[in-house]
Amino acid sequence: MKILLFEDEFTENLYPITYTRASFEIRIGLKNMVEKIYEQLKPEKIYILCRDYIREVVCKRYPYTIPWDGSTIDDILIINGLLCLGERELKEIMKIISTKDSVLISNGRIVAAHISENILKNNVLEKIHDIKKIQNLLETFRSDSVRIISYPWQLVKYSLEVFVEEFNSYSQDSSNLGDNVYVRGSRDNVKIDENTYIEPSVLIDVRKGPVYIGRNVEVEYQSRIAGPAYIGRDSVIYGARIESSIIGEVCRIGGEVVNSVISRYSNKRHFGFLGHSFIGEWVNLGAGFTNSNLKNTYGTVKMKIGDKLIDTGETFVGCFIGDHVRASIGTLLYTGKKIGVASQIHGIVVRDVPCFTFYAKSLGVEMIELEFGDVLKSISRMMARRNIELSEAEVSLLRKVYELSREERVKEGVKKERIKIE
């Protein structure tokens, strides 16, 4: 079967995370939607329908994907890119696959649809965001139990839930743990991949969830890892306390990380606290970086989404940091804040920061727009440390994000001048 992954309007709610990636590229659990579709459903072809400026980069990241141009007239399964593809969602998808010309709707959003050649000829995908028109064409099924992301604070919660469901699908075991690694709970809930070294006196606590540690990982003495937790390949854990978190590939982690997702190639090497947060790729959080995930009033946290202030309904909400962000030593970030792509933050940060912005208000500096060329130099230097070169497609993507976010910087009073700290 052919599958089409599409973005809906809720993708913008996840800025800055989705400025640099399609909605179906967000990691939920062990992998993202594109990878799961490719590996689990094994479709004949995977088409993508996403924002124009991001399409080329997506196809380079996943060479088995094809941009949708509307010319394919054949049975096709379409899936919302913000669907969390866990156990319950896969069951619902299989129902749709077995029922031609049907659509699954959850809380007013299209989750998936199976469209035949006859219906596809009517340009039905042009109506993909119009539920009433879709319902007139397709048999409708409803489910409020499927998990589909609407807001940033759901990213961590759903990622951990799906990881727990995926854990048993991996064949690794705990046989190479060593006698001096302490496990609280059943060792059946620990999986260790090959070429991973865990130093003596590390504690792994699986009483509240499983722990999976990928290949070529090093976990240093005095680390404590409490499940559910995943640590991706080639990462290093420096005597850290990690609890209920997903750590991506090639990360360097120290200090305390709780209920958070850290994407690949990002670093929180030193002491400090990160809680209930989602961190993009190629982010560096300096020594002493700490975010707040709880208000002093113990009330629910409100976040600005677009032009609206929305009550999350959650007591614990941390920060949401886009790709290529740099946080200097001693940065303190207030509850529920978003930091835009390629920004630099210093001191005490009490508000959302737009993309490509230098923020150091507590040091007496107004918000200043970073020069695009200087940003590229910084990004290239960091990537070179991992023997990776910034591609022309990635440069074009970042330049487009720079342009798209210009209006936001103007609105927030970001100035164009030389950075000067006395």
pLDDT per residue as tens digits for the range 136-152: 778 888 888 899 999 99
In this prediction, residue 211 carries a pLDDT of: 97
Q: How confident is the model at residue 318, as a pLDDT?
A: 98
Res 171: pLDDT: 73
72 pLDDT tier (thresholds 50, 70, 90): low
Query: How far separated are the first and last CA of the chain, in Å rounded?
Result: 62
pLDDT of residue 127: 53
pLDDT of residue 122: 60
C-alpha span between 145 and 122 (Å, rounded): 31
Distance CA 213, CA 234 (A): 10
* Alpha carbons within 13 A on the beta-carbon side of 327: 35
Q: Is residue 256 within 8 Å of 273, Cβ to Cβ? A: yes
| 225 vs 124, higher pLDDT | 225
Contact indicator for 140, 102 with CB cutoff of 8 Å: yes
Whole-number Cα distances in Å, 400 to 148, 251, 396, 404, 412: 27, 27, 6, 6, 19
Q: Report which listed range, 97-106, 113-122, 406-415, is most confident.
A: 406-415
Q: What is the mean pLDDT of the chain?
A: 92
Q: Above pLDDT 70, what percent of the chain?
A: 95
Q: What is the mean pLDDT of residues 355-379?
A: 95
Note the pLDDT of residue 139. Answer: 83
What pLDDT is recorded for position 168? 84
pLDDT band of 128, cuts 50, 70, 90: low
pLDDT band at 98; cut points 50, 70, 90: confident
Task: Give tens-digit pLDDT for 44-66.
Answer: 999 999 999 999 999 999 999 99
Mean pLDDT of 75-101: 90
Structure token pair of residue 7: 């973005």
Determine the average pLDDT of the residues in 76-84.
93
Helix (H), strand (E) at residue 136: helix 131-137
pLDDT score at 115 = 85
Q: What's the pLDDT band for 121 if we cut at 50, 70, 90?
A: low
Task: List alpha helices for 201-248, DSSP H.
Answer: none
For 117-128, what is the mean pLDDT?
Answer: 63
Q: What pLDDT does residue 134 have?
A: 72
Q: Check: CB of residue 33 under 8 Å from CB of residue 5.
A: yes
Set out the domains of the chain in order of their start, with CATH numbers. 2-149 (3.90.550.10), 163-411 (2.160.10.10)
More confident residue, 294 or 1: 294
On the question of pLDDT at 131 being above 70, the answer is: no
